[in-house]
Amino acid sequence: MTDEFTPDLDDRETAEEDPDDVLVLLDRLEELVGVGRRFPLSTRVMVEEEEFLGLLDQIRGAVPREIRQAQRVVEERSDIITSAQQEAAKILDTARSQAEYIISEQGVSNEARQRGEEYLRQVELDKQRSMGQIDDYALNQIGKVEEAIQDGLNLVMDALREASTNLEQAKRHVGQ
């Protein structure tokens, strides 16, 4: 029952409001009750039956749409979360692989460097040992050469003495 003072609720919808939005429809239902005629001395309100039933039908139609839309949003959210988790897992796997490669490469490099340093130390020790042995050998050989020269010199000296003695004797023999 509408009187001349009751505005038509359909006329007050703004262009921004979706007439199938449940909250908009509930607001319209609340307005319908708010503008309805009150019974004196009671909390009862009289509303236009056709308008009330029309809003109720719209709400019944909008609720399943909103539920389906909410389900789609939830599914999309689940898909996005699943996709993000898969992407995060891929990123973690890639990062782990790279870290393992770097660690193994660095580990191999460190191990090679340590082995190289140990090899160089060992070569240096061998060189020093060899140099010591070479020095000992050279000194030994020089000692032998010195002995041989000394022996040769002694032979030459002995030969010179003997030749000198023989020459003296020969001179004495000739001069006699």
Helix ranges (DSSP H) in the chain: 22-35, 49-174
Q: Are 19 and 25 in contact (CB under 8 A)?
A: yes
Structure tokens at 27: 């607001």
Q: What distance in Å separates the CA atoms of residue 159 and residue 153, rounded to the nearest whole number?
A: 9
Q: What's the pLDDT tens digit per position in 5-52? A: 444 444 444 435 566 688 888 888 889 888 888 888 888 888 888 988
Q: What was the pLDDT predicted at 17? A: 59
Q: What was the pLDDT predicted at 9? A: 46
Q: Are 65 and 71 in contact (CB under 8 A)?
A: no
Q: What distance in Å separates the CA atoms of residue 12 and residue 58, rounded to the nearest whole number?
A: 17
Q: What's the pLDDT tens digit per position in 75-131? A: 888 888 888 899 999 999 998 888 887 777 777 788 788 888 998 999 888 888 888
- Flag whether pLDDT at 72 surpasses 90: no
Q: What was the pLDDT predicted at 156? A: 86
Q: What distance in Å separates the CA atoms of residue 72 and residue 74, rounded to the nearest whole number?
A: 5
Q: What was the pLDDT predicted at 150? A: 87
For range 61-84, the mean pLDDT: 85
User: How many residues appear in the chain?
Assistant: 176
Sorted by sequence, the CB contacts under 8 Å of residue 18 that are 6+ apart come out as: 24
Residue 38, classed as helix, strand or coil, is strand
Q: What's the pLDDT tens digit per position in 129-161? A: 888 888 888 888 888 888 888 888 888 888 888
Of 77, 79, 36, 28, the closest CA to residue 56 belongs to 28
Burial (Cβ within 10 Å: 0-12, 13-18, ≥19) of residue 137: exposed
Q: What was the pLDDT predicted at 90? A: 93
